Structure 1
Amino acid sequence: MDKIDFKTQLATFYSAPNGSFVTVDMPAMRFVKINGEGDPNRDPAYQRAIEWLYSLSYAMKFASKTASGKDYVVPPLEGLWWADNPDDFVGRRKHLWQWTMMIMVPDFVERPLYEAALARSRDKLGEPPVSLRLEPLDEGRCLQTLHVGSYDDEGPVLARLHHEIMPAMGMTFAGPHHEIYLSDARRTPPEKLKTILRQPVRSAG
């Protein structure tokens, strides 16, 4: 059986035009998630969270292939980002950020496979972060665009979204800023990084 690649199967959710925002209506999807706060470039808890998410995700992938014959490409890393003052996020004041890092889990990976993967990862990595969980995310209507370039160059794009595009559409925030990392930052030059920038919205009226 061919591997399922959700970036292809769910292309509407994992693609967007570069330079403009489009509207997408997101279904509820399940993720493994870990929370944290502070500068992700400085806090070792961020790297530990990423290690755990990938360990679990690959353990679930292999368990699914063995148990049901359903194999898939592990979906991209994603992150929810926010700050008490939204300007602190747009202004890249990272020490004031809060985050939830996460990776999507297919519906056919049932809870027992997750629990077995958790046990295997615990044997390898020790006790998991206390916020680790498997739970749904239901964002509903969102605006999203493709950003090509350094993560630190996102600020002007988000400022335009927050202060021009959303007000012009009569929209306001309905959830934290959401990023989907389509590139491997370890192997991709900063100027070529591809990131989906997504913002859940609702009517401001």
Structure 2
Amino acid sequence: MKVDLKAEIPTYSARRGRFDTVTVPPLRYLMIDGAGDPNTAPAYQESLQTLYPVAYALKFFSKRELDRDYTVMPLEGLWWADDPMAFTTQRDKSRWSWTLLNLVPEWLPDEQVDAACAKAAAGGAPAVHRLRCEVLDEGLCVQTLHIGSYDDEEPVLAEMHERVIPGRGLRMTGIHHEIYLSDARRTAPEKLRTVLRQPVARA
């Protein structure tokens, strides 16, 4: 039976119009760093062209060798800029830095990740040399579900950052995190579903 880890990890669920305070467990990801406008930067496309071949190589190994099939998890991203205004208000994407993520099931060992990277490299994946596998421990976070274009996130982020987080006696600590529940290639912009997450700590 195929496992859907989104249904098994509660923090992959969020609701529109509601800002939940959650504790995210340590999770292990494929990670690729980069910078620049995701719509135009070659490094962004190269990262996608590497992340997915590795993710699917891991899935097929798990299904074939371990008899544990699962749905490949959605794309995720950590986003930041040296000037926070470039991200939240100005939306100057050329100044953004990012880390693309894809969750690795806990039962797959590091040596199998290495084997999947080697297979992807042999198939021409262009950014294997930039890919790593690490645990991200975000802990306490505030998150919500945004429905709509990525470019329409700013009012939701402003409410989260300026009203919700300080109103709960919290302060922002880690990097803005997005989980892309929709496939942007097949979904109209106004229907895109994205979890917006901000790590926090007690003020």
TM-score under structure 1 normalisation?
0.95
1:131 shift after superposition:
2.9
Distance 2:153 2:145 in 1: 10
Asked if 1:158 corresponds to 2:153, the answer is: no
Aligned equivalent of 1:82, options 74, 80, 83 = 80
Asked if the contact 2:31/2:102 (under 8 Å) is kept, the reply is yes
Structure 1 runs of 4+ with >6 Å offset: none
Asked if the contact 2:50/2:126 (under 8 Å) is kept, the reply is no
Find the counterpart in structure 1 of residue 184 from structure 2: 185
Find the counterpart in structure 1 of residue 175 from structure 2: 176
Find the counterpart in structure 1 of residue 121 from structure 2: 122
Find the counterpart in structure 2 of residue 4 from structure 1: 3
Q: 5+ unaligned residues in a row in structure 2: which ranges?
A: none
Residue 194 of structure 2 aligns to a residue in which SS? strand
Asked if the contact 2:50/2:125 (under 8 Å) is kept, the reply is no
Asked if the contact 1:148/1:193 (under 8 Å) is kept, the reply is yes
Q: 1:45 is aligned with what amino acid? A: A
Aligned equivalent of 1:56, options 54, 57, 74 = 54
Distance 1:199 1:16 in 2: 13
How many residues were matched structurally? 202
1:127 shift after superposition:
5.3
Distance 2:191 2:127 in 1: 33
**Greater Cα offset, 190-199 or 79-88:** 79-88
Q: 1:139 is aligned with what amino acid? A: E
Q: 5+ unaligned residues in a row in structure 1: which ranges?
A: none
Find the counterpart in structure 2 of residue 202 from structure 1: 201
Q: Deviations over 1:132-186 (max 9, x none)?
A: 1000000000000000000000011101111111111121112110000000000
Mapping of residues 16-165 of structure 1, within 5 Å: 16-91=14-89, 92-126=91-125, 128-165=127-164
Question: In structure 2, do the counterparts of structure 1 residues 129 and 111 end up closer, same or farther at CA, with 3 Å as the change threshold?
Answer: closer
1:126 shift after superposition:
4.9
1:9 shift after superposition:
1.5
1:111 shift after superposition:
1.3
Asked if the contact 1:64/1:113 (under 8 Å) is kept, the reply is no
Asked if the contact 2:54/2:120 (under 8 Å) is kept, the reply is yes
Q: Deviations over 1:53-102 (max 9, x none)?
A: 10000000101112211111000100000111222111211111100001
Query: Percent identical across equivalent pairs?
Result: 51
